[in-house]
């Protein structure tokens, strides 16, 4: 097991299987099928992200450097949470961008029955170490354990 320490953006404790992207997550392209066509597994539709394309994001520990794309990113992330199609958690190697932060914080504040812990500033070592399918456990203080 390897332990990483990041900054808690939205708190929570959870254990989930890792899903890793080494490129930025385009939230609109990635979640479009989940939001528009009712894909409850939130299968990634972003053909420009070979790490995630065609993989189930709902319930996964989504490990990534940052999100990219248009200003709709925060709303898309919030809507994925409202529709219960969100990742189990989001773990950022870099500082979280303002759009992803807004979506995560709005979901935390406005949705009573939704939890999506978010931790950022985990570093490049984290993203280089973690692989798809590894078990990730997150603590409220931003500690991330990878098995």
Q: How far apart are CA 79 and CA 89, in angstroms?
A: 15
Beta strands in 6-60 (DSSP E): 7-10, 14-20, 25-26
pLDDT value of position 117:
98
DSSP-based three-state secondary structure for 71: coil
Beta bridge partners of 15: 137
77-117 pLDDT per residue, tens: 999 999 999 999 999 999 999 999 999 999 999 999 898 99
Residues of the chain with pLDDT under 70: none
Cβ–Cβ under 8 Å, residues 17 and 138: no
pLDDT value of position 70:
86
Residue 102 vs residues 4, 7, 31, 42, 116: alpha-carbon distances, Å: 24, 16, 16, 20, 13
Class of domain 2-146: alpha beta
């Amino acid at each position: 097991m390897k332990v990483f320490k990041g900054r808690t953006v939205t708190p929570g404790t959870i254990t989930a299987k890792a899903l890793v992207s080494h490129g930025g997550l385009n939230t609109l392209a990635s979640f479009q099928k989940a939001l528009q066509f009712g894909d409850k597994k939130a299968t990634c539709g972003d053909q420009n992200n070979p790490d995630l394309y065609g993989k189930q994001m709902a319930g996964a520990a989504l490990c990534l450097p940052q999100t990219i794309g248009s200003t709709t990113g925060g709303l898309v992330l919030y809507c994925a949470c409202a529709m219960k199609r969100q990742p189990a958690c989001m773990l950022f190697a870099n500082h979280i961008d303002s759009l992803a932060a807004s979506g995560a914080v709005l979901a935390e504040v406005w949705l009573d029955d939704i939890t999506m812990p978010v931790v950022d500033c985990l570093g490049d070592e984290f993203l280089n170490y973690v692989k798809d399918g590894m078990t990730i456990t997150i603590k409220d203080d931003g500690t991330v354990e990878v098995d």
